[in-house]
Amino acid sequence: MFKNLFKNAITIPNFLTLLRFVFLILFMVLYLGADNKRQEYTAVVFLAIGFLTDFFDGYIARRFNMISDLGKALDPIADKLSHGVIMLCLCAKHKLMIMLVVILIVKEGFMAAMGIRNFKRGIVNSAKWFGKICTAILFVALIALLILPLSNAAANTIIVICGIVMLWSLVMYVRFFYLENKEIKCADE
């Protein structure tokens, strides 16, 4: 089972994904330790570099046929960990952010359970288009909340929109896994 996961795993895209974890840790340490806006912006630069590695890992993997099961598993983990870390950092400034943290925990808990179930079946799913849209919207919104001087009303509006998008993505994934499971059961019969 794990043998396939690590087959062809030592690749440039997987290295870039692992590098994203390093930049995320740097962001968190610098952001939480910041005493002023300039230090917060410095932290955001490290986060932005991490986001660039996300773009390049996918591009390189597809362009040079370096797609691996480990990469398919690590990339969404890095995305969700990035979301979670940013949301937790923003909780101190925006109380409504806790709603997104709760939705993220529910959504990603479901995704993890389905991923483990499928992994046991020998299936590694990659992110779907609606998950990618959710991720993109979330990243843009979270960056805006980090760097823009927003009123409470504007920040809360962005947070609510993100919550709606995350719930929509969850519903789409529930539907996807339901249909996939139904298809597997039909094939087994």
Mean pLDDT of 98-119: 92
- Provide the domain count of the chain: 1
Instruction: Give me the pLDDT at residue 5, please.
Output: 52
The answer to whether 13 and 66 are in contact (CB under 8 A) is yes
Do 160 and 97 meet the contact criterion of CB atoms below 8 Å apart?
A: no
Which residues neighbour 108 within 8 Å (Cβ) at sequence distance 6 or greater?
80, 84
Q: What is the pLDDT of residues 18-57, one digit of tens each?
A: 999 999 999 999 999 999 999 999 999 999 999 898 889 8
The predicted pLDDT at position 6 comes to 57
- Summarize pLDDT for 133-172 with one digit per residue, the tens: 998 899 899 999 999 999 999 999 999 999 999 999 999 9
Helix, strand, or coil here: 33?
Answer: coil
Q: State which amino acid sits at residue 27.
A: F
CA-atom Rg of the chain in angstroms: 18
The CATH number of whichever domain residue 147 belongs to comes to: 1.20.120.1760
Structure tokens that stand for 139 in this block = 């990243």
* Alpha helix segments (H runs only) across the chain: 2-5, 12-32, 37-63, 69-90, 97-120, 129-147, 152-188
Domain that holds residue 82: 2-188
How far are the Cα atoms of 8, 56, 116, 151 from residue 121, in angstroms, in the given order?
Answer: 20, 30, 9, 48
27, 43 contact by CB (below 8 A): yes
Which pLDDT score is estimated for 7?
Answer: 59
Asked if 40 and 31 count as a contact pair (C-beta separation under 8 A), the reply is yes
pLDDT digits over 3-24, tens only? 555 556 688 888 999 999 999 9
Phi and psi at residue 50, to the nearest 5°: -60, -40
Q: Whose structure tokens read 């390189």?
A: 60
